[in-house]
Amino acid sequence: MEARGVVAAAAAAMLVLLALVPEACRAEQFIVGDAARWTWGYNYTDWVVKKGPFFQNDSLVFRYDPPNATTHAHSVYMMRNLADYQSCNLNASKLVAGVMQGAGSGFEFVLQKRKVHYFVCGERGGIHCNAGQMKFIVKPKRSICRD
């Protein structure tokens, strides 16, 4: 009886420890737009709805070709707030990845902070963001173990 109680207490303590240490949780990597990659006219808002939720430390990979005579340049900027995001006003935005950085395996952005991230393409003074739909919002959730 006594020994069984000790074992039970130890087991309970283990469960508490397991619950406190999230080391088994893994971050995932997402290719933005999947096969479409980061391009004009794809609905990234829809992509986020289908892929989400995203968790802290997940990463987003932006893939786009460097510009040449026949293809348009793309880039990744982060907007300061929702109003700038909605109006595609890049004045106070921050460059995340330049026109050359999406080449090859792409540019990886780790969602380290649990804040709202407003991503847009900054090319053509906001036209890619506006008319091209190259914009999406992601707010990573607290890292918890996935099923």
Ligand X SMILES: *[C@@H]1O[C@H](CO)[C@@H](O)[C@H](O)[C@H]1NC(C)=O
Residue ranges that bind ligand X, judged by CB under 6 A:
43, 45-46, 49, 56-57, 65, 68-71, 89, 91, 143
Structural element, H or E, at residue 107: strand 107-110
CB-nearer residue toward ligand X: 10 or 43: 43
Q: What is the nearest approach in angstroms of ligand X to the Cβ of residue 19? A: 15
Smallest gap from residue 5 Cβ to ligand X (A):
35
Task: Read off the tokens for 111.
Answer: 């969602």
Q: Which is nearer to ligand X, 44 or 76 (CB)?
A: 44
Task: Tell me the residue type at 85.
Answer: Y
Of 4 and 142, nearer to ligand X (C-beta) is 142
Shortest distance in whole angstroms from residue 131 CB to ligand X: 10
| Rounded distance between C-alpha atoms, residue 105 and residue 112, angstroms | 20
C-alpha 68 chain-centroid distance = 27
**Residue type, position 95, single letter:** L
